[in-house]
Amino acid sequence: MKKLMVCWNVETPKYLMIICIVFSITGSSSIAIGRPVLKLLGITLDNFNPFIYYPLFVISSFVFYQVFLVLFGWGFGQFSFFWSLEKKMLRRFGISI
């Protein structure tokens, strides 16, 4: 726990717990929303080859993850932490904001 607090520059265990909760909610939500959205768009395993469907599912889940991370971070009062993390993550993919 102390290593994470130092790495993320978090001052108290309370904020570290909030950050962990946001990460867990974000991951679960992005997967839970990704499948129905693909199904709504007509992209299912019945219609598409698994080699096409699964990369589309991963990409859609990644997009939802990025959006939800900032939204849930804002909802839990940690917007600045997650916004800086988001910008760092996107820079690694060659996207700058």
Rounded mean pLDDT of 27-43?
93
Query: Could you tell me where the DSSP H helices lie in the chain?
Result: 2-7, 13-40, 50-75, 79-92
For 44, 50, 88, the CA distances from 24, given in Å and listed in that order, are 26, 27, 19
Which residues are CB-neighbours of 41 under 8 A, at least 6 positions away? none
| Residue 96 clears pLDDT 80, i.e. is over it | no
Which residue type occupies 75?
A: G
Tell me the pLDDT band of 4, cut-offs 50, 70 and 90: confident
DSSP structure class, residue 77: T
Query: Side chain identity at 35, as an amino acid letter?
Result: R
Q: What is the pTM (predicted TM-score) of this model? A: 0.84
Q: Are 62 and 31 in contact (CB under 8 A)?
A: no
Residues 74-97, mean pLDDT to the nearest whole number = 88
